Amino acid sequence: MASPAKRRTAKPPPHALYLGVDGGGTKTHIALLNAAGELQCEGFAGPSNPLRVGVETAVGNIIKAINEACDRSGLSRGDIEAATLGLAGVRRADIRQRVRESFLQRIRANRVVVVTDAEIALYATTEGKPGLVVIAGTGSVCLGMNAKGKTAIAGGWGPLAGDEGGGVGIARQALQAVAKASDGRGIPTILSRRASEYFRASGPENLIVAIYSPQVDNSRIAGFAKMVVDAAAAGDTVAGNIVKEAGFELGLAACAVIDKLGLKRNKVPIGCVVSIFKAGELLTGPMTEVIRTIAPKAYLTEPLMPPANAAALMALRNAVNSKNGGAK
């Protein structure tokens, strides 16, 4: 009896590149890997959240980042074999499809997948294993997956209904505190001076003109969160309470996901992504305290790689699996 034929492993084309995109409300970061999974180049551009800037502007910024990276490194965007676009604002299937179609009009890759920024951040933390990721950038969201592959999400509701613990949420609370201090309804805070400097107002009483200017968008407002964190580190009570509450809110989001996935008894890693976590113990302390009330073995950790690199690795592995008939 003849022995069964061995499955032939398809090889990627020579010079093939695999694109990963991490796009949010403030900036876009792209990474290109070769077939060995080695980073070849990176690029950066403006925001690519289609809900905030529109599909065409979002895709345009992705292309700008790709072109910048390829021009600098001497690579050809025509060699992009597969891509994973991890973007904020693409939870709706119709928006993902519009982004994909617009991208394919400009980059003729063989395989393009559009996912949320939370999905690539989770992969950056766990590489497909059980765990959670908490993203606190312009906005905030928590995503998790258990051993059965079930996923759950909390947050991601945007600046009107959510973003607690994210840059916009922290900045919004800080500006409210400044308004109260200016009126005499709240205690004095160094944030009054910091806000005036950041938004280029002559004083707190003139902030109302500056912050409602058409030029001040969510990314600009979110940028003020860094000054709030700095003020908290310098000992300002109001700023300290705002950062503490941000940690508490991010912890609540993680708790909701842990509960949905049945991970309360697990030693579950929780990746912390984006700049708000540079607040250190001021933010992660309250966050950890809340999480451990329901999941004592859970622990915060750094991602294994940047989300853009994780997205590129997802593109590479998806392409290889597809060519091998779905083999792992």
Domain that holds residue 86: 17-127+305-323
- Do the domain assignments include residue 23? yes
For 291-315, give one letter per residue: b (16+ CB within 10 A) or e: beebbeebebbebebbbbbbbbbbb
For residue 217, the model assigns a pLDDT of: 83
For residue 324, the model assigns a pLDDT of: 65
Q: Where are the beta strands (DSSP E) in the chain?
A: 17-23, 28-33, 39-45, 80-87, 111-116, 131-136, 140-145, 151-155, 269-273, 299-301
pLDDT tens string 49-98: 998 899 999 999 999 999 999 999 999 999 999 999 999 889 899 999 99
Judged against a pLDDT cut of 70, whether residue 276 lies above it is answered with no
Judged against a pLDDT cut of 60, whether residue 327 lies above it is answered with no
For residue 199, the model assigns a pLDDT of: 92
- Do the domain assignments include residue 36? yes
Domain identity same for 167 and 290: yes
- Do the domain assignments include residue 142? no
Interval 194-222 mean pLDDT: 88
d(CA 144, CA 209): 41
Query: pTM here?
Result: 0.80
Domain identity same for 104 and 173: no
For residue 4, the model assigns a pLDDT of: 44
pLDDT tens string 233-267: 999 999 999 999 999 999 999 999 999 999 999 99
Domain identity same for 171 and 293: yes
Judged against a pLDDT cut of 80, whether residue 293 lies above it is answered with yes
- Do the domain assignments include residue 150? no
Domain identity same for 98 and 193: no
pLDDT tens string 97-119: 999 999 999 999 999 999 999 99
- Do the domain assignments include residue 68? yes
**Bridge partners of 115?**
86
Domain identity same for 39 and 25: yes
Interval 193-199 mean pLDDT: 93
Domain identity same for 203 and 101: no
pLDDT confidence tier of residue 24, bands split at 50, 70 and 90:
confident
Domain count of the fold of the chain: 2
d(CA 119, CA 149): 13
Domain identity same for 211 and 314: no
For residue 3, the model assigns a pLDDT of: 44
- Do the domain assignments include residue 134? no
Residues 6+ away with beta carbon under 8 Å from 288: 251, 300
Interval 29-35 mean pLDDT: 96
Mean pLDDT score of the chain: 90
For residue 157, the model assigns a pLDDT of: 82
For residue 13, the model assigns a pLDDT of: 63
Interval 284-296 mean pLDDT: 95
Instruction: Return the DSSP state at 93.
Output: H
Interval 19-47 mean pLDDT: 94
- Do the domain assignments include residue 224? yes
Interval 288-293 mean pLDDT: 96
- Do the domain assignments include residue 149? no
For residue 34, the model assigns a pLDDT of: 95
For residue 25, the model assigns a pLDDT of: 80
For residue 269, the model assigns a pLDDT of: 94
Domain identity same for 316 and 271: no
Domain identity same for 238 and 121: no
Domain identity same for 310 and 209: no
Read off the amino acid at residue 234: A
For residue 281, the model assigns a pLDDT of: 86
Domain identity same for 162 and 294: yes
For residue 52, the model assigns a pLDDT of: 86
For residue 151, the model assigns a pLDDT of: 95
pLDDT confidence tier of residue 12, bands split at 50, 70 and 90:
low
pLDDT confidence tier of residue 273, bands split at 50, 70 and 90:
confident
Q: Strands of 39-45's sheet, edge to edge? A: 39-45, 28-33, 17-23, 80-87, 111-116
Domain identity same for 278 and 313: no
CA-based R_g, the chain, Å? 22
CATH at residue 31: 3.30.420.40
